[in-house]
Every structure is written in structure tokens, then in C-alpha cells.
């Protein structure tokens, strides 16, 4: 799904989470590394017919985030998008105002700002302009591949976004994707809107690449296995879910490398050094409670500001020790776990007295077994997680009812992402106060998750691939 010529890794795990086999290869295709791991698994009594999950961690979208002009390499593949903002009184910062002009002209065919949206108490910010919505739908019908709809405070109630989507769907039929901003989280109107439009633009190329991955899997006798893609928070989602949430794939290989380091070492809290194939450490990320530490604040994607969270990587500048200090969020030394394709080369470059002991800021330096395949191991071991968030006034007479609804929405989100319905549970709940409001109000966030669902014929293992290759 990305650039050929880089090293890829794959692993097979049994249903107890044990690594059965791990391989690493320099191969031009995803199919090549998949063939290698399936061949390595056969002597262990695991033929392709016994594998019920295939997880991929791919890096193509990381390049999109890293380089403002990278999207130019996708000519004709980004979907043409129509953008709708529900909140006519919000035009002091109009839709797309912060986009690079060339990106805006390439992606967005039409945009409009209509009356609608919600207040913090759930009442209407403005009445929804149904007639204006219908006129816009007729104008764009047949000219766009996706529509992105963003309403003021849709995190409080999405009813205007849902109603607008109904109007669009009735006019356009099934000819394009409709994405609603409340499904992608975030409080800020502009950043949430930007993320929704970018998601809409990426649905076409990501769907194309997903179809290639599915073909690779089916060609190798894995047609009964469900395919999952790794996400930026170290979780996984079904292929269909990932196609409609493409920005959730940003930094997926970094996230699963950190999760894989936790699985392989048994550590829950540590620092993880991510190595390159040339043997250098490219970045350090904190491992907290077996998950990567995530960024807080702005993330630019193709030069567009969004509120997305990605793994909080600290790049190596002066030295590894400096990055170790910057990656910590609290005083105290932690283990440094080295993973990635250059692990062996980096360890060999260290003085023998350092390996197994410590660098400054660490209690020891460790390279766990199968460290080169950590990203694949992390993808295979990752849970399926869904999230729901809501802005809630604490004096609402329906407070407990709302809390229950948000918990149920998180469970439903996890199941849509591919979690086993019988095993979905709450992962954590957070209520964070919002400042500068006339009445006490919180942002309620709930995450629910569980293991990936199993098809009608349960197998005995799952395979995961971490790749930067074309899906052939």
C-alpha cells in the first residue's frame, strides 16, 4: 500500500497471543511478505485455511501527513468533495479558509454554509435550512464522489447532520459517500470540518488500495479470514470501517510497533526506540499502559490543520539520550525497548556493556525477541476499539440518560469497527470540564473495545503484516 523496496515484516500469532513465527524480508509487494510468513507457518501446523484474521499495518498515509505536497502523487485518485457547513453565523472563518490553495482547488468542487447546528444545551443553533440543503444537493448531484457535512456542536447532538445527510442521499442516491463530522470527534468546528473533508477526499484511493489488499488475501487461500487494518492509536478496524475513516490509519505502523514492543517484552510502561533499516533510531515514543502516547492538539495533514491524534514521536536530533528525555512525561528512568528493521544493526553498534544495562535516562536497553517484526506483532495483538464523545451540561436533568447513551454509542462504534459483540466492554470513561462557560459542562469520552470478531468457521491463528509495499 505504499512505496516498494522497503523492509516488511509479518507474524503469526495463536489465539493465546503467542508468536508462532515472525519473518522480515525486503520485498517489492505485500504478497511477497504474506507468502513468506504463510510458508514459515506451515511446519507449525498452520495452513492458510486455519487462519481467521489478517491484519495489515501500512505506511502510505504517514507520508501524506509528513509532506505537505505528497498528495500530488495521487493524481486523479482523491475524491471530488462537496463541503457543507451547518451554521450560517460562523463565516468569520469560512469553510476551507486554512487550506493550501492548490489542495483546496484539487479536492473541493463546491461548498456551502447553511443555517443549522446545535447549542450546548442541545437546542437548535439555527433552524436547519432544508430548502437550501435540497438546492445544494441538486447542484452537486453527479459531480462529486463524496460529501462532507459539519454542524456547529454536532458533538452535542448530530440531528442536523443526520437530517442533512438524508436530504443528500435522497437526491444523490448511492452515487457517493456521505461523511458526518460527529463521527470523527474533535470539538473545534474548523479542525473537525477539515478532518471530515480530508476523510471524504481519501475514501476513493483508500478504497482502491483496500480492494488490492483483499485480492492479495483471497489469492492466497485466506478468503475465510477477515481483514483488518491497524489504526493510529494501536487498535485495528475492519477493512470496510477503515475505508470510511482513512485518517485513522495515520501513523499505524508506529503505533503497532509500540504495541508490539509491549507484547514482546511484557512491559506496560517504557520508552520505545523505533529503528530504520540502516540501523539508526529514527524516533522514540513513550509506552503507557501498553499503548503509545498520543499527541494532543493540532496535527497537519497535507498542510491542513486538524485535531487528529497520532503517536507522539520524538525524532532523533542531537542524540538518542536527548530524545529519551523529551519523550518522557514524568521524571524517572524507564526501560528502552528497541524495535524495527534496524534493531540488530543498532544493538551491534552499541558498546557490549550498554546492551542489557542502560543509557542515560533508562533503567536498561533491551531488544526483545522478534523485535524486527514488532509492528506486525502489535497489529496481530491489537484490540478493536470504538469511541463516543458528547458535550454535556452537568445540570442537565437527563445527565444519567446521556451517560448511558454515550456508553452504548461507544459499544456500537466498537462493533461497527469489527469487535466481537459478545466480548465488547468499556475500556475507559473520561469527563473533562470545559472552561469559560456560564454553566458547568464536560466533554464526555467513552472508549469500548474487545477482540476482533470471528467468522462462522473459527480458525486457530491470525497473521499480521507490516508493509510499505504495493499491494500485489
Return the pLDDT at 425: 96
Beta-ladder partners of 208:
none
- In the block, residue with C-alpha cell 453565523: 89
Is the CB of residue 212 less than 8 Å from the CB of residue 471? yes
Return the pLDDT at 2: 29
Return the pLDDT at 470: 45
Return the pLDDT at 76: 59
Return the pLDDT at 456: 46
Return the pLDDT at 351: 60
Which ranges of 245-368 would DSSP assign to H, the alpha helix? 252-265, 320-327, 343-349
Return the pLDDT at 467: 61
Flag whether the pTM goes above 0.85: yes
Pairing of strands 461-467, 51-58: parallel
Walking along the chain (472 residues) 10 residues at a time, the average pLDDT comes out as 56 88 83 90 90 85 51 67 92 88 88 90 88 94 92 88 94 86 83 93 85 90 89 93 87 93 95 89 93 86 86 86 86 90 81 60 88 93 93 87 94 96 94 85 94 69 66 45
Is the CB of residue 99 less than 8 Å from the CB of residue 71? no
Beta strands in 87-176 (DSSP E): 108-114, 146-151
Return the pLDDT at 354: 53
How crowded is the C-beta side of 30, counted as CA atoms within 13 Å? 32
Is the CB of residue 8 less than 8 Å from the CB of residue 466? yes
Burial 427-454 (b: 16+ CB within 10 A, else e): beeeeeeeeeeeeebbbbbbbbbbbbbb
Is the CB of residue 269 less than 8 Å from the CB of residue 288? yes
Task: Report which secondary-structure segment, H or E, holds 104.
Answer: helix 101-107
Q: Which residues contact 169 (CB under 8 A, 6 or more apart)?
A: 178
- Rounded CA-CA distance 371/19 in Å is 12
- Rounded CA-CA distance 445/185 in Å is 10
- Rounded CA-CA distance 416/431 in Å is 24
Return the pLDDT at 395: 86
Q: In Å, how far are 101, 235, 241, 278, 332 from 468, measured between CA atoms?
A: 30, 19, 21, 16, 35
In the DSSP assignment, the letter for residue 434 is P
Domain ranges in the chain are 384-450
Torsion angle defined by CA atoms of residues 22, 14, 419 and 145, in that order, rounded to the nearest 10 degrees: 30
Amino acid at each position: 500500500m505504499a512505496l516498494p523496496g522497503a523492509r516488511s515484516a509479518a507474524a503469526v500469532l495463536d489465539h493465546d497471543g503467542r508468536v508462532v513465527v515472525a519473518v522480515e524480508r525486503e520485498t517489492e509487494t505485500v504478497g511477497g511478505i504474506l507468502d513468506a510468513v504463510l510458508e514459515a507457518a506451515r511446519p507449525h501446523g498452520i495452513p492458510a485455511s486455519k487462519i481467521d484474521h489478517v491484519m495489515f499495518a501500512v505506511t502510505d498515509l504517514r507520508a501524506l501527513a509528513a509532506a505537505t505536497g505528497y498528495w500530488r502523487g495521487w493524481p486523479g485518485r482523491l475524491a471530488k468533495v462537496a463541503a457543507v457547513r451547518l451554521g450560517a453565523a460562523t463565516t468569520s472563518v469560512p469553510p476551507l479558509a486554512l487550506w493550501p490553495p492548490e489542495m483546496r482547488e484539487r479536492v473541493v468542487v463546491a461548498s456551502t454554509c447553511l443555517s443549522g447546528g446545535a447549542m450546548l444545551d442541545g437546542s437548535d443553533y439555527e433552524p436547519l435550512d432544508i430548502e437550501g440543503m435540497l438546492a445544494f444537493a441538486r447542484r452537486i448531484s453527479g459531480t462529486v464522489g463524496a460529501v462532507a457535512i459539519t454542524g456547529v456542536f454536532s458533538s452535542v447532538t448530530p440531528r442536523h447532520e443526520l437530517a442533512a445527510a438524508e436530504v443528500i442521499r435522497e437526491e444523490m442516491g448511492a452515487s457517493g459517500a456521505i461523511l458526518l463530522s460527529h463521527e470523527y470527534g474533535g470539538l473545534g468546528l474548523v479542525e473537525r470540518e477539515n478532518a471530515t473533508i480530508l476523510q471524504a477526499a481519501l475514501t476513493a484511493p483508500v478504497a482502491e488500495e483496500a480492494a488490492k489488499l483483499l485480492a492479495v488475501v483471497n489469492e492466497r487461500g485466506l478468503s475465510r479470514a477477515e481483514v483488518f487494518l491497524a489504526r493510529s492509536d494501536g487498535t485495528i478496524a475492519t477493512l470496510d470501517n477503515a475505508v470510511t475513516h482513512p485518517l485513522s490509519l495515520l501513523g499505524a505502523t508506529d503505533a503497532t510497533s509500540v504495541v508490539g514492543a509491549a507484547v514482546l517484552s511484557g512491559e506496560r510502561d517504557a520508552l520505545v526506540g523505533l529503528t530504520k533499516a540502516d540501523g539508526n533510531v529514527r524516533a522514540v515514543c513513550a509506552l503507557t499502559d501498553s499503548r503509545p502516547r498520543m499527541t494532543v492538539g493540532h496535527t497537519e495533514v497535507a498542510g491542513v490543520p486538524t485535531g487528529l491524534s497520532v503517536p507522539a514521536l520524538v525524532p532523533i536530533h542531537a542524540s538518542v539520550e536527548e530524545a529519551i528525555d523529551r519523550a518522557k512525561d514524568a521524571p524517572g528512568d524507564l526501560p528502552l525497548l528497541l524495535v524495527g528493521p534496524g534493531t540488530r544493526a543498532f544493538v551491534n553498534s552499541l558498546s557490549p556493556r550498554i546492551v542489557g544495562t542502560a543509557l542515560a535516562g533508562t533503567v536498561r536497553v533491551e531488544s526483545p525477541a522478534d523485535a524486527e517484526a514488532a509492528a506486525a506483532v502489535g497489529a496481530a495483538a491489537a484490540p478493536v476499539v470504538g469511541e463516543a464523545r458528547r458535550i454535556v451540561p452537568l445540570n442537565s436533568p437527563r445527565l444519567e440518560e446521556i451517560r448511558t447513551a454515550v456508553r452504548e454509542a461507544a459499544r456500537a462504534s466498537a462493533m461497527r469497527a469489527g469487535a466481537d459483540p459478545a466480548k465488547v466492554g468499556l475500556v475507559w470513561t473520561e469527563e473533562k470540564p470545559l472552561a469559560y462557560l456560564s454553566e458547568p459542562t464536560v466533554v464526555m469520552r467513552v472508549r469500548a473495545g474487545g477482540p476482533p470478531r470471528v467468522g462462522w468457521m473459527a480458525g486457530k491463528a491470525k497473521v499480521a503484516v507490516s508493509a510499505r509495499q504495493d499491494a500485489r
